[in-house]
Chains A and B, each alone.
Chain A
Amino acid sequence: METVTVQCGDRETREINREIRQRIAEGYKEIEIAAPGARHSLGVAILEPVHLTFNGSVGYYCAGLMDGATVTIRGSAGWGLAESMMNGTVIVEGSAGNGAAAAMRGGTVVIQGDASARAGVSMKGGTLLIAGDSGYMTGFMAQKGTIIICGDAGEALADSMYEAAVFVGGKIADLGTDAVIHEPTSEDGAFLRETLGAHGLDADRDWKKIVAGRKLWNFDKHESTWREIL
């Protein structure tokens, strides 16, 4: 089947989302959504391996709760892009607002522009790839998964993380609580080349790897850490 276009016009988000699901049920694999007008919650909870293309900017929570679809956004995205995504691919040609890929569990989110504050907050898996710069407290309390920032990272980077890792190609404004810088391993290097290569980005940068220092992982009130770190 060819591509079908969903026209947003003056319609409510709920109606637009219903039509998207209907088209998926009809067997369409390529669905374009025209004039999304930065509406919120577009294309949420899509569980089928279809390709949605939003021809314009989207609002908050676009592609949230997704499992296995591919979403292309030809514009910018608001807050909470692909939040709690299980699997699949989301590509934003513009920039993303706060909390991009919040709590994502798997798959890949690619932001070709910049990410705002708290990108990858509470990530639980998957890869968040930011071609531009990333904002304040990127990777805040990220549990697992990988954040790759090709450009510069804002203040409080990787604050209070668990097992996630952040790679930064540019400058770091400052590190968050319990964030430490390590040398990337050769495996990291291969992973970066492969992941960036898949999205047409240059992996030849001065990569810093940021992980948790693990000083916040266990609480013992007698440890001096707790007097200093907070």
Chain B
Amino acid sequence: MCAILGYLDKTGNKAAPIGRTLLRMLIAVGCRGPDSTGVAIFGPDRGGLVLQIKLGEHGDFTARAGELLEQIETFIAVKEHTVTSSYLRAVIDERVDPQHLVQAIEQFDPESIEVVSMGHRLEILKQVGSPQELEETYHISQMVGTHGIAHTRLSTESRVDLSHSQPFWAHGALDVATAHNGHITNYHKLRRIYEQRGVRFYTENDSEIIGIYLRDRMERGESLEEALRASLVDFDGSFCYVAATNDALAYVKDPFGLKPLVVAETDDWVAVATEEIALRQALGDGFRTREPGTRTMQIWPLQAPAVAAV
């Protein structure tokens, strides 16, 4: 079933309790996705690029983290780093080619090392397990920032592991993350097209194609909004998905309205969720909700009025 969530603070607060809000929303809809949980939060500027690197699926990775760190430091200065469970978090000098860096890091062990997210402010933390377990391991309730998206997964077609969990980083595109509920039925056809162009896929999860598609279109000069609109034409199947960049939060709803999504907005925040129960449990009663129409998208830039839904 899966559930997707999104939350954006409109007050200009750069340290809003995004993690805490997303966690409350996740717990409310956790029953939709018993397999995995994840968040993508846009935090404060670190003065560099922040990477969340998966060290492996299970086990103690302290030694491995140390080795990987040594490797990374041979080609780029690491300003700060921490190891928590499956992740090495590193903040590096931003004067680096992101693609080369990702390749260099993943070369350490292509089977299990993966850059899960990279960006100026984006951090993705996800794993197999419940929202409560994600909180226990990574203390996401303490993560602050401007906005974020989250996901709770019920696997339908691909493996249950960290890499296949969501949200997905649009690999290679700094600060772009997506979370999807549904099934992109022309995934294989689209995947072949991108693979022929040399794009690497990290999973067999159809949701991964969304970020790859958005990245491709934005690299060709399209805005996020244009790319989201185009996806309504190019994707087949059922989908509600949220996408977030450093500057915006957006949702897309498929032409048949096959998957649910509810939106609420006040002067202080905007929130989207697969089920209203998530909004009520996290944000209370003082607002109305609406279900957007089919074949619509909407984008909220940070600190600006929302673009009208199309």
Interface residues of A (CB under 8 A from B): 35, 37-40, 56-57, 59, 75-76, 78-79, 94-95, 97-98, 114, 116-118, 135-137, 154-155
Q: List 18 A-B contacts (CB under 8 A).
A: A37-B277, A37-B281, A39-B277, A56-B285, A76-B290, A78-B262, A78-B275, A79-B260, A94-B289, A95-B291, A97-B260, A97-B262, A116-B291, A116-B293, A117-B257, A135-B257, A135-B293, A136-B294
Query: How far is the CB of A56 from the nearest CB of chain B, in Å?
Result: 6
Q: Are A78 and B290 in contact (CB under 8 A)?
A: no
Docked Cα-Cα span, A68 to B6, in Å, equals 39
Minimum CB–CB distance for B152 against chain A, Å? 16
Minimum CB–CB distance from B163 to chain A (whole Å) comes to 32
Of the candidates B256, B276, B295, the one whose C-beta lies within 8 Å of that of A78 is B276
- With contacts A79-B260, A118-B257 known, is A136 near B293, CB below 8 A? yes
A residues within 8 A CB of B260?
78-79, 97-98
Most buried by A among B255, B280, B281: B280
Given A97-B291, A136-B293, residue A117 in contact with residue B277 (CB < 8 A): no
Say yes or no for B279: interface residue by CB 8 A criterion.
Answer: yes
- A139 to chain B minimum Cβ distance, whole angstroms, is 14
CA distance A76 to B290 in the complex (A): 8
Min CB distance, B7 to chain A, in Å? 16
Q: Report Cα–Cα, A39/B29, bound state, in Å.
A: 11
The A-contacting residues of B in range 236-288, CB under 8 angstroms, are 255-257, 260, 262, 275-277, 279-281, 285, 288
Contacting residues of chain B (141-173) with chain A, CB-CB under 8 angstroms: none
Complex contacts, B295 vs chain A, CB 8 Å: 136
B residues less than 8 Å from A114 (CB atoms): 290
User: Is the CB–CB distance between A57 and B293 below 8 Å?
Assistant: no
Taking the nearest CB of chain B, how far is it from the CB of A221, in angstroms?
28
Alpha-carbon distance A78/B256, docked complex (angstroms): 17
Q: Does A136 contact B257, Cβ atoms closer than 8 Å?
A: yes
Do B257 and A38 have beta carbons less than 8 Å apart?
Answer: no
Contact between A38 and B256 (Cβ–Cβ < 8 Å)? Answer: no
Q: How far is the CB of B30 from chain A (nearest CB, A)?
A: 14
Query: Are A59 and B293 closer than 8 Å at their CB atoms?
Result: no
Contacts A79-B260, A118-B257, A135-B257; A94 near B275 (Cβ below 8 A): no
Distance from B182 Cβ to chain A, minimum over Cβ atoms (Å): 14
List chain A residues, Cβ under 8 A from B289.
Answer: 57, 76, 94
Q: How far is the CB of B201 from chain A (nearest CB, A)?
A: 32
A38 to B285, CA, bound (A): 10
Cβ-neighbour of A117 out of B262, B285, B288, B294 (below 8 A): B294
CA distance A94 to B279 in the complex (A): 16
Please state if B256 and A40 are interface contacts (CB–CB under 8 Å). Answer: no
**CB-based contact A117/B290 at 8 Å:** no
Indicate which residue in A76, A94, A154 contacts B294 across the interface (CB closer than 8 Å).
A154
> How far is the CB of B271 from the nearest CB of chain A, in Å?
13
Q: Are A35 and B285 in contact (CB under 8 A)?
A: yes
Of all chain A residues, the one with the shortest Cβ separation from B278 is A38
Closest to A56 in B: B285
Q: Decide: B276 and A117 in contact? CB cutoff 8 A.
A: no
> Counting chain A CB atoms within 10 Å of each CB, which of B256, B260, B291 scores highest?
B291
Q: B21-44, CB under 8 A of A: which get 1 and which 0?
A: 000000000000000000000000
Q: From the candidates B257, B281, B288, name the one contacting A94 in the complex (CB within 8 A).
A: B288
Q: In the bound complex, what is the Cα–Cα distance between A94 and B291 (angstroms)? A: 11
Q: Please, which residues of chain A bring their CB within 8 A of the CB of B257?
A: 98, 116-118, 135-136
CB-CB < 8 A to B288: which residues of A? 75-76, 94
Q: Chain A residues with Cβ under 8 A from B291's Cβ? A: 95, 97-98, 116
Contact A40 B290 (CB under 8 A): no
Q: How far is the CA of A79 from the CA of B262 in the complex (A)?
A: 11
Min C-beta distance of A22 to chain B, whole Å = 24
Residues in A with CB closer than 8 Å to B276 are 38, 57, 59, 76, 78
Chain B, residue nearest A99 (CB): B257
Q: What CA separation (Å) do A37 and B280 show in the bound complex?
A: 6
Question: What 8 pairs between A and B have smallest CB-CB spacing?
Answer: A117-B257, A38-B276, A136-B294, A38-B277, A37-B280, A116-B291, A38-B280, A97-B291
**Contact yes or no, A154 B293, CB < 8 A:** yes
Could you tell me the distance between the alpha carbons of A57 and B290 in the complex, rounded to whole angstroms?
Answer: 11
- In the bound complex, CA of A98 to CA of B277 (Å): 16
Q: Report the nearest B residue to A173, measured CB to CB.
A: B293
CB-nearest residue of chain B to A133 = B293
Give chain A residues whose Cβ lies under 8 Å from the Cβ of B281.
37
Chain A min CB distance to B29 (Å): 11
Cα distance, A35 to B277, chains bound together (Å)? 11
CA A118 – CA B293 in complex, angstroms?
A: 11
Q: How far is the CB of B107 from chain A (nearest CB, A)?
A: 47
Query: How far is it, in angstroms, between the C-alpha of A79 and the C-alpha of B277 when the chains are bound?
Result: 12
Q: How far apart are the CA atoms of A59 and B257 in the complex, in Å? A: 17
Shortest C-beta distance, B277 to chain A (Å), equals 4
